[in-house]
Chains A and B, each alone.
Chain A
Amino acid sequence: MKRSTESVLLKPTNEDTVGPYFPINFSDPLLEDLTRFESGITGQAQGVPILLKGRLLDRFGELANGTLVEFWQANAKGIYRSPRHEGNSDIDPWFWGYGRLRAESGEFEFKTIMPGPCAGRAPNITITLFSDGISRIVTQIFFADQASNVTDPLLRSLNSEDQEKLSARHEGQTDCGAKIYTIDIVMAGENEIPFFDDLLREGE
């Protein structure tokens, strides 16, 4: 995981805000429901279906409308669909583990499967937000009813109040029997949830 410290590296293009008008016509229903694969084929993601319901809130408690939300997660066996795991027999061919939706009002519903535990981690979904006025910010969401939360290194790096802010709560189930989890993602201000610094600096 070491990166080159040579000074010949090219300077990266600056990130910029997504703005308010991310094209709605770029939406893809299959990225909003990872329990489904393309229609007309036999094949389905393994694992326990869940529905993650979230609200994105600004520092005044108003919904952060028009936010683009992206998700990535491990499959039911705890394996990410990343180049590192290419060829791994625990890859689920019917599960990509990447989702995306535009939360028009600032509320969202994301259908997926409960991620499996992965290398010492509690089940989690990485959530990355692109919103007007900011560049990408990133955090991870956990599930309040998972016993392995107490040993998760990321949760353990936070105080209990912040741990709670990243824990989605189980609240009922859908008509199809999927567990519903809810979370408030407060982007700024007093109740702001923890966001993480994923910038790799030279020499890391």
Chain B
Amino acid sequence: MSNIGRQLEIGPTDNTSDQRTPRKRLRLIPETARESFVPCVPQRGLSRQNEWDLTRIAPDLQRAEGMPIEVSGKLQNERGTPISNAMLEIWNANHFGRYRHIEDHSNLPLDERFLGTGRVFTDSEGNYKFWTISPGAYLARPDIGRWRPKHIHISVSGGGSRLITQMYFPDEPNNASDPMAILMGDDFERNIGKPYETPKIDVDCGLKFDIVIGGRNAVYFE
């Protein structure tokens, strides 16, 4: 056991990271207070029937612009035990790199057929699946020409886990300069979806993204 808390790192070229990252080492938690820090997130929430399909706002509406993709994978803990009935909250930018979030003030085009948010639940084997539009990359720091690579945000809660992560795409030119990818180092590999073939009827391709809940994001009283 380490007797010194972690020092968090600041994402290079990320101004907000510089403003908000604690500078002091994290404090150690006395053993008697440990349990209270375990994420206590009840299984909850609802998802409308069509929310697994982000490629259209509602089943009676047309598909959004861009490349429809499938993202699927298994949610499990470090021992490989599936985590069932957990909620995944998903959000991603549209084909042009714009979020339909009222605080996204970029001038990139909105797509009237794309909402870009959805919620799905893992099944009894921990599997999940959703469709979305392959998101566009966008220029995050025009002053230095740094882009945010294509990514999909995924927030996992329930089943005793709490994790917010992002899935990236393979062979993207902007992956290497992304501040958070730089902090992950070699581990960044694990946050890249792995392409697979699909019948090409509903979606152009699939990306497998298995999520392992471990370390500080899991329940440990078993």
Contact = CB atoms under 8 A, between A and B. Distances in A.
Interface of A: 1, 3-4, 8-26, 28, 58-60, 62, 64, 66, 70, 72, 74, 80-84, 96-98, 118-121, 124, 126, 128, 130-138, 140, 152-154, 156-158, 187-189, 192, 194-201, 203-204
Interface of B: 1-2, 5-6, 8, 11, 14-30, 32-42, 44-45, 76-80, 89, 91, 99, 101-104, 117, 119, 153, 155, 160, 162-166, 179-180, 184, 187-188, 190-191, 210-221
B101 A188 contact: no
A198 B156 CA distance: 18
A70 B161 CA distance: 13
B20 A132 contact: yes
17 contacts: A3-B220, A4-B79, A10-B79, A11-B190, A11-B212, A12-B214, A19-B166, A28-B45, A83-B160, A133-B11, A133-B17, A133-B20, A133-B179, A157-B27, A188-B19, A189-B23, A201-B1
Contacts, number: 228
A9 B220 CA distance: 14
A133 B164 contact: no
A25 to B, nearest CB: 6
A20 B138 CA distance: 14
B16 A132 contact: yes
Nearest to B25: A197
A197 B30 contact: no
Nearest to A67: B20
Majority secondary structure of chain A interface residues (helix, strand, loop or mixed):
loop
Contacts of A157: 27-28, 30
A23 B212 contact: no
Given A14-B184, A124-B36, A196-B26, A130 B190 contact: no
B21 A96 contact: no
* Interface hub of A11, A16, A80, A138 (most chain B Cβ within 10 A): A16
A29 to B, nearest CB: 13
B117 A154 contact: no
Contact of B33 (A121, A136, A195): A121
Contacts of A133: 11, 14-21, 179
| Nearest 3 CB-CB pairings of A with B | A12-B214, A133-B17, A133-B16
B37 A138 contact: yes
Contacts of B6: 197, 199
A61 to B, nearest CB: 10
B139 to A, nearest CB: 15
A84 to B, nearest CB: 5
Which of B33, B76, B99 gathers the greatest number of chain A CB atoms within 10 Å? B33
Given A12-B215, A121-B36, A200-B215, A136 B1 contact: no
Given A12-B217, A188-B20, A26 B32 contact: no
Task: Name the residue in B22, B153, B213 with the highest tally of chain A Cβ atoms < 10 Å from its Cβ.
Answer: B22
B28 A81 contact: no
